[in-house]
């Protein structure tokens, strides 16, 4: 990976998280990363991470091997059409992280089937090396697939999936960050009501969420098995959990996930 150069077209919430994850990994020299944005830059063409920043998508493509498209879905067509003449199938690999835009859409914008095109669905925890990134590929060699996976491995866990599951991956793995953050906020609100300062409620909620996830990551168990270890018969945990379920806790989560999924399908 050391000699690979990466262009991130769209240095926004997700694009900057991907870049931070890559820089943090120290597997790629920041000077080999170029990120582009739409708004005019205020003078500096390197930023605090040591990467190149620019408004010139075509120059960024020409200077890079891996091109990550991280603009809003409705901008993918114009950006891909803009950079298409600069893309060389022998050199470049294109990766789109845009929600709901298929590989077939991108090939249509490119007007070629020859370029290796990937979809990847990371989340903003890439910035701290803890993303979950699902990846699917078109017309790529094993080496190209391995390279794209290695790039996203630097910012968390990766999973190769069939593209038909990419919208589901978007909901569970990318929107999922927001669902979990809202859960944490709810924990904090409850914690404050029963006596903690916001600061301490935040600390307790975060470490409790992290600990619960780490338990399952380390032992591979189903959550309900560990819930059994927490719920004392006639105890306070089961009383609270059952009340949460009476109020529709799991059901609202499932419905929210399905609604997000339907929203992506509607946008097509």
Ligand X SMILES: NC(=O)C1=CN([C@@H]2O[C@H](COP(=O)(O)OP(=O)(O)OC[C@H]3O[C@@H](n4cnc5c(N)ncnc54)[C@H](OP(=O)(O)O)[C@@H]3O)[C@@H](O)[C@H]2O)C=CC1
Ligand Y SMILES: O=C(O)[C@@H]1CCC=N1
Q: Which residues bind ligand Y (CB under 6 A)?
A: 99, 170, 174-175
Report residue 101 as tokens. 């835009």
**Tokens 């409620």 belong to which residue?**
201
Distant-in-sequence, close-in-space partners of 194: CB < 8 Å, separation ≥ 6: none
CB 59: neighbour CB atoms within 10 A? 15
Contact partner, 109, from ligand X, ligand Y, none, Cβ < 5-8 Å per class: none
Question: How crowded is residue 159: how many other Cβ atoms within 10 Å of its Cβ?
Answer: 15
Give me 165's structure tokens.
């599951």
Smallest gap, in angstroms, from Cβ of residue 55 to ligand X? Answer: 7
Residue 13, marked binder: yes
Nearest residue to 132 (alpha-carbon basis) of 183, 179, 80, 164: 179
10 binds ligand X (CB under 6 A): yes
Residue closer to ligand X by CB (options 13, 189) is 13
Choice from 6, 11, 116, 140 touching ligand X (CB under 6 A): 11
Least Cβ distance, residue 175 to ligand Y (angstroms): 5
Query: Does residue 151 interact with ligand X by CB under 6 A?
Result: no
- Identify which of residues 180 and 238 has a Cβ nearer to ligand Y in the complex: 180
H-only helix segments in the chain: 13-25, 57-62, 76-83, 103-110, 142-153, 166-169, 176-193, 198-219, 223-230, 236-246, 249-266
Q: Is 98 in the site for ligand X (CB under 6 A)?
A: yes
Instruction: Using the structure block, give the residue that is written with the tokens 């997000």.
Output: 260
Q: Would you say 129 and 151 are in contact if contact means Cβ atoms under 8 Å apart?
A: no
| Residue where the block lists tokens 């168990």 | 221
20 lies in the site for ligand X, by CB under 6 A: no
Q: Which of 38, 91, 182, 221 binds ligand X (CB under 6 A)?
A: 38
Binding partner of 12, given ligand X, ligand Y, none, CB within 5-8 angstroms per partner class? ligand X
3-state class (DSSP) for residue 117: strand
CA angle (133, 135, 137) in 5-degree steps: 165
- Among the listed residues 22, 33, 68, 71, the single contact to ligand X using CB under 6 A: 71
Residue 89 CB, nearest approach to ligand X (Å):
22
176 binds ligand X (CB under 6 A): no
61 assigned ligand-binding residue? no
Tokens of 224: 């309900």
* Cβ at position 82, least distance to ligand X in Å: 7
CA distance 263 to 68: 24
Instruction: Rule CB under 6 A: say whether 94 interacts with ligand X.
Output: no
Task: Give the range of 10-18, 151-159, 186-194, 226-234 binding ligand X by CB under 6 A.
Answer: 10-18
Residue 67 sits at the vertex; the CA angle it makes with 63 and 85, to the nearest 5 degrees, is: 70
Question: Nearest-CA neighbor of 176 among 254, 251, 100, 249?
Answer: 254
Q: Site for ligand X (CB under 6 A): which residue of 52, 57, 154, 158?
A: 57
- 129 touches, from ligand X, ligand Y, none (C-beta below 5 to 8 Å by class): none
**Under rule CB under 6 A, residue 52 binds ligand X:** no
Q: Which residues bind ligand X (CB under 6 A)?
A: 9-15, 36-39, 57, 70-73, 75, 79, 97-99, 121, 123-124, 174
């Amino acid at each position: 990976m050391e000699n690979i150069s990466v262009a991130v077209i769209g240095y926004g919430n997700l694009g900057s998280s991907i870049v931070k994850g890559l820089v943090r990994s120290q597997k790629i020299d920041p000077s080999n990363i170029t990120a582009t944005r739409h708004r005019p830059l205020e003078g500096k063409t390197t930023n605090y991470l040591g990467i190149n920043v620019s408004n010139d998508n075509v120059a960024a493509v020409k200077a890079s091997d891996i091109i990550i498209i991280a603009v809003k879905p409705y901008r993918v067509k114009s950006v891909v059409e803009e950079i298409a003449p600069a893309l060389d199938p022998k050199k470049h690999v294109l990766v789109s992280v845009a929600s709901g835009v298929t590989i077939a859409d991108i090939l249509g914008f490119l007007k070629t089937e020859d370029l290796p095109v990937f979809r990847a669905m990371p989340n903003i925890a890439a910035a701290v090396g803890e993303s979950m990134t699902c990846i699917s590929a078109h017309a790529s060699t094993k080496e190209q697939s391995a390279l794209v996976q290695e790039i996203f491995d630097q910012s968390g866990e990766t999973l190769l999936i069939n593209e038909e599951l990419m919208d589901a991956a978007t909901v569970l793995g990318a929107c999922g960050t927001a669902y979990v953050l809202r859960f944490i906020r709810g924990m904090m609100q409850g914690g404050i009501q029963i006596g903690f300062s916001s600061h301490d409620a935040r600390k307790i909620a975060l470490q409790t969420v992290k600990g619960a996830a780490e338990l399952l990551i380390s032992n591979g168990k189903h959550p309900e098995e560990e819930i059994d270890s927490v719920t004392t018969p006639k105890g306070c945990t089961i009383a609270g959990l059952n009340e949460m379920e009476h109020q529709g806790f799991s059901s609202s989560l499932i419905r929210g996930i399905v609604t997000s999924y339907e929203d992506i399908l509607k946008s097509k």
